[in-house]
Amino acid sequence: MTPAVTPILILRSSIFAAGMVASIMIWTVFCLLSFPLPFRQRYFLVTRWNVFIRFWLKQTCQLDYELRGAENIPQQPCIIFSKHESAWETIILAIHFAPQVWVLKRELLWLPFFGWSLAMLKPIAIDRSARKSALQQIIEQGRQRLKSGSWIIIYPEGTRVAPGSKQRYKIGGASLASATGVPVQPIAHDSGDFWPRNSFIKHPGRIRLVIGPPIETRNHTPLEINRLAEEWIQGQVRTLRS
């Protein structure tokens, strides 16, 4: 059941939104000025915005989170498969897995301010309408990013999905994992219960973010990798909401 929207929720969410928009414009200036810096330094500077938003969200909307399974994070960067219900995880995961790059639709880079900052972080920006070339791009650029020491964030459902729903897992991330033999780190959470997709209102509470054991990908087909990841992620999501 969706919590009732009260005047205080509207007020808190409005204050949060105002601070978020203002900070994006300010941070973009610093991001653009950081272009000459090495990638890791540039990443650190850009993601100070994520740290600020985490703080701002807690202060204004009383929305915090708890991290479970941190002991499962491997020493070497790998491919992360995360449940995608909200904008929240796109902000928070950048703090815990650094440096990282995202597989995303190229249209996001065209957004004023926010897209410009994204472009500074070497994303794998694909044209979803060109499936064959997009898959090849994910594998080629993903292999390069992994060799350079970056985590790769994949939202295998391809879009934000409402709590209780799911989409078919796309093949791109699993194909990269199969081609490289790099483990997949599955992540589950219940962010959509507090920061629903396309919703202005942020509900107070405590999001639970669960990091699972890495999934071995060597000698597995992309379909097998997707099946293993989906079983763990969906099972965890059901457990969080049971």
- 33 band by pLDDT with thresholds 50, 70 and 90: confident
Q: Which two tokens stand for residue 163?
A: 């709590």
> Is pLDDT of 2 > 70?
no
Q: Indicate whether 51 belongs to any domain.
A: yes
What pLDDT does 30 receive?
A: 82
- Which residues span the domain enclosing 168? 7-240
- The single residue listed with the structure tokens 């405590």 is 206
Count structural domains, the chain: 1
Round the average pLDDT of the chain to a whole number and report it: 92
Nearest in space to 116 (alpha carbons), one of 128, 108, 104, 127: 108
- 152 band by pLDDT with thresholds 50, 70 and 90: very high
Q: What are the helix (H) ranges across the chain?
A: 7-33, 39-46, 48-61, 88-96, 114-119, 131-147, 172-180, 222-240
Strands 79-82 and 184-189: parallel
Residues sharing a CB contact under 8 Å with residue 144, sequence separation 6 or more, in sequence order? none
Q: Indicate whether 2 belongs to any domain.
A: no
- 108 band by pLDDT with thresholds 50, 70 and 90: confident
Tell me how far apart the alpha carbons of residues 59 and 81 are, in angstroms, rounded to a whole number: 29
Nearest in space to 157 (alpha carbons), one of 187, 199, 180: 187
What pLDDT does 214 receive?
A: 97
Mean pLDDT of 127-141: 87
CATH code at 157? Answer: 3.40.1130
The per-residue pLDDT for range 212-223, each reduced to its tens digit, is: 999 999 999 999
Q: Indicate whether 1 belongs to any domain.
A: no
